[in-house]
Structure 1
Amino acid sequence: MAVKERIGTVVSNKMDKTVVVAVETRVPHPKYGKTMVQTRRYKAHDENNESNEGDRVRIRESRPLSKQKRWVIVETLSHASGV
């Protein structure tokens, strides 16, 4: 089975070694066909507390690290501007 990866934006870094990453996907409406944006929030492990709000990051699925945390930050694609 392939390892899942997602690219998203860090929306919260208030927890220790954990960030919340919002991932947007575009899907057509089942009946009307209009493209809608769905946002899903994942809790991801950030070992060194390096990520800040607004950063674009790549996350990878991993073993369960806590009750809700099943993703790990692989790399930071871009840092938030103006921080």
Structure 2
Amino acid sequence: MTDPALTLYRLQACPFCERVVRTLDEHGLDYRSRFVEPMHADRNVVKRISGKRTVPALVDENTGVTMSESANIVDYIEKTYGEGS
């Protein structure tokens, strides 16, 4: 079994993160969740991968895309993995 190509960096109970989770689940996509530090200043792992400390952040190894902001991520998932893609 291989690791999923999608990794979502997120916080517990974050409504923006949950929006992305719902979209990933709706499309039946396998992904890995990485829960990050709640304190913004301590999110160095997210800063290293996306250049920002904000969550959610998505890394897609299939396409080489790394992005943040839930609306952008949802749009990306729809366009990349939605019907007709």
Q: TM-score interval w.r.t. the shorter chain? A: under 0.3
Q: TM-score, normalised by structure 2?
A: 0.26
**Larger of the two Rg values belongs to structure:** 1
TM-score by length of 1: 0.27
Q: Which structure shows the bigger proportion of residues in strand conformation? A: 1
More helix by share: 2
